[in-house]
Structure 1
Amino acid sequence: MKISDTHIYYCYLQYSNQGQFSQQKFTIYDSYLTIQIGKIEELKIEYCSQDVVFEWKLEDPNQYEVIVITENYSYTFLGSKKTIQNLKQYLDGKVFYGNFISQYQEIQKLKKNKQGEIIKYYSKYQNIEVIAKIFNFTQNLERHSKKLIFNELRICQYLSQYNQESILKLREFYLEKDKIILIFDYCEGGTLYSYMAQNNFCPSFIDIRKIMKKLLLAIKFLHKHNIMHRDIKMDNIMLLENNNPNSIQVIDFGFSTFIDDLPYLIERCGTPGYIAPELYSENPYDELIDIYSLAQIFFTLLTGRKFAYESHSFKTFAQLHKKQQSIIRESTKNEIIVDLFQNMTNSPEKRYNSMQCLNHQYFEKTSKIKQLTCLKFPLLKTPFQLIKLKEQQSQKDHQDRFINQK
């Protein structure tokens, strides 16, 4: 992760100290900010540091405040509405905020487990709906779990500096007594599976190509910045807007890592059905595992299917890929699509990277590919069930048949 001292923004606020006021400077850089305290002291704050929390007082329309809380002191700064709002805008997604409940109103609990919960909130001051990913962060939390939480935060914070349109951006993050809260935009369109269901599990060729291009551009961006996602799957792809493939978003960086972070390159993680073959070996792997996972999404978009398999041998994977290619060939009647899928699921030394995929003939405007054959199959209760193909086809209707793997 590249660290720089590029100056981004500065402003002056009134520092309140025992009834005395003095003008002090806030300076924001790429990886930290500095706050002038008095004539000599300067407070330097690294982004994502747990040692400092910012609380915003935005209730009084005539005078806004920001309180900077450190381990030993708290500093109160006053400024105009415009100045404080501008400062907050530059600090969003960079430093810990406090007093979460004063900023948000709960709408709906969406998911809960022992690690935490996901809740939909309404932002009182921005008038928008957001998603809060809330981690339990108690004193007795395992060290490894804490490391995973901060690894996800570190990656999301790093990505928030950029505006890659197909990666869900971290808006803010909060540090409460026993919780860490990450705030993201609310994805009204639901998961990629929801989108498929809305389109009778037969999205148009144009939309599939559009989705794949956007996802490849997102993965290209991640890999360019030395980040592996490591859990690309249907439920980690969402749509900001209902039934709008242009609003596709890659979410959930809980398994992600920086490529040069060697300890993480030995860990085996991901979701069965999307995991690349090399992850089942004991050797280190690289970012091309994301391409393989995306190929499995491509397969589902094209066919409505998701394979399950019990054996993890390379021979089994080779057989699986041949079956998948055959099904794609049957439903698309086009070798261009088959070729792209094959190159995305090849062995690591032959597998395409994101740029090679984007340069493939499939994404050329002159590529003539007919509308996909609509396949009929039972509606699945969730997009995440493992589906085993039962290879029996009726001569009458060639209807695809599935059974849920128990």
Structure 2
Amino acid sequence: MPLFSKKHDARVTAKYNLKEVLGKGAFSEVVKAEEKATGTEVAIKIIDKKSLKGKEEALQNEIAVLQKVNHPNVVRLFELYDDKNRLSVMELVTGGELFDRIISKGSYTEKDASSLIRQVLEALEYLHSLGIVHRDLKPENLLYFSPSDDSKIMVSDFGLSKMQDDEQMDQLGTACGTPGYVAPEVLRRKPYGKAVDVWSVGVISYILLCGYPPFYSENDSELFKQIMKGEYEFDSPYWDNISDSAKDFISHLMELDPKKRYDCEQALTHPWIAADKARDVNIHESVSAQMRKSAAKLKWKKAMLVAAAIKMMQISSQEHKHQETQEQEQQDSASAAP
């Protein structure tokens, strides 16, 4: 039975007119609603607590972050209602995912990409100033506020985010994120901090300018090796019409050494962002074509998180070592036989 068909907290229905279901997940539904007093449209996320057993900490963490933030480029939590289900009244974001909008556009330039990344960096700089590391920045978590052509971009989904004080900020250790966008220090299982978010912005910037990811393999082990080595290229012909300033910007964000990597403030002052160095040439045809191809390749990876990938690789490695040991024992036994 849909969550939304159940009896709701009277406080919610007294204040909001509940409308259609906007989306469904494994543990939740998002419903469009209108505040009766003002006519303001919001999104109400209804989360089934029974289905979340063992994952309550992640939910509490996301709520704690959302209650703390107030920035024009970060999805906000307006109110929180807690009853049999947990009802969170969110800001309604209706413009769709970043890449979907780019593909549907008729024109798209470096300047457009620069403007998008500037907004993401401003949101990220704000989050970092509050001691919040997002830890899962990727295109699916960058949403347009509205369908209008001049809509702002919004950072969403704080399920993996972490709040730290200054002394602990570079001491995070949990392997998390999404393969392809995760920073090399996370894969090396080294203590990490805010710089992991900047690396992810570098990866997103790369894709925005050519349509395909800087690192790709259907084998997670090979993908992670590429990332840890920082192996990527500005391939011809896809990068031939992209400015040197854009390539320089990406190189500073996708710097292997997190201590040398640009922080948000440095990235925001880079000429590609701040000094009008982004080209105004239409790159929509080539970028959208590559995005469509990449989307088909990457679709199966969307739900895979780094922690799960690493665990699978460890199991595979253990099985491989066990097999090698057995083969060696068989060889030794054969050699010892008269």
Short-chain TM bin: 0.7 to 0.9
Query: Which digits, 9 at most, give the CA deviation of each residue in 1:8-56, with x for residues without a partner?
Result: xxxxxxxxxxxxxxxxxxxxxxxxxxxxxxxxxxxxxxxxxxxxxxxxx
Q: Distance in 1 between matches of 2:99 and 2:296?
A: 9
Percent of residue pairs identical: 25
Query: Which residue of structure 2 lines up, in the alignment, with residue 332 of structure 1?
Result: 241
For the Cα contact (< 8 Å) 2:73–2:123, is it kept in 1?
A: yes
Query: Which residue identity does 1:223 align to in structure 2?
Result: H
Residue segments in structure 1 that go unaligned for 5+ positions in a row: 1-96, 389-406
Deviation at 1:198, TM superposition (A): 2.4
User: 1:265: how far off?
Assistant: 2.3
Offset of residue 197 of structure 1: 2.1
SS at match of 1:126: coil
SS of residue paired to 1:265: coil
Q: Name the count of aligned residue pairs.
A: 284
Tell me which of 86, 93, 100 is aligned to 1:180: 86
- Going from structure 1 to structure 2, the CA distance change for 1:264 and 1:111 (only over 3 Å counts) comes to farther
CA deviation profile, 1:179-228 (whole Å, cap 9, x unmatched)? 1122222212111122202214x522222111111111110111111100
* Change in 2 beyond 3 A, CA 1:318/1:111: same
Maintained 8 Å contact 1:321/1:345 = no
Q: Deviations for 1:142-175, whole angstroms, at most 9, x for unmatched residues? A: 3x4122111111111011xx3x211112111111
Unmatched tracts of structure 2, length 5 or more: 1-8, 301-338
* Aligned pair partner of 1:341 in 250, 255, 258: 250
2:247 pairs with 1:247:
no
Q: Does the aligned pair in 2 maintain the 1:210–1:245 contact within 8 Å? A: no
Q: Is the 8 A contact 1:231 1:256 kept in 2?
A: yes
- Alpha-carbon RMSD across the aligned residues, in angstroms, is 3.0
Residues 173 and 183 of structure 1 are in contact (CA less than 8 Å); yes or no, is this contact kept in structure 2? yes
Structure with the greater relative contact order (CA < 8 A, sep ≥ 6): 1 or 2? 2
Query: How high is the TM-score relative to the length of structure 2?
Result: 0.74
Q: 1:367 aligns with which of 269, 273, 277?
A: 277
Report if aligned partners of 1:135, 1:180 keep a CA contact under 8 Å in 2: yes
In 2, the alpha carbon distance for the partners of 1:199 and 1:278 equals 36
Matching residue within 169, 172, 175 for 1:265:
172
Q: How does 1:119-268 map to 2 (within 5 A)?
A: 119-138=31-50, 141-142=52-53, 144-159=54-69, 162=70, 164-177=71-84, 179-200=85-106, 203-260=108-165, 265-268=172-175
SS of structure 2 residue aligned to 1:110: strand
For the pair shown, the structure with the greater C-alpha radius of gyration is 1
Q: TM-score under structure 1 normalisation?
A: 0.62
In structure 1, the residue matched to 2:199 is: 292
More helix per residue: 1 or 2? 2
| 1:291-313 deviation digits (Å, cap 9, x = unpaired) | 11111211221112235323357
Moved over 4 A (4+): 261-264, 312-315, 318-321, 381-385
Cα deviation for residue 238 of structure 1 reads 1.0
> d(CA) in 1 for partners of 2:238 and 2:292?
23
Pick the aligned partner of 1:107 from 9, 12, 19.
19
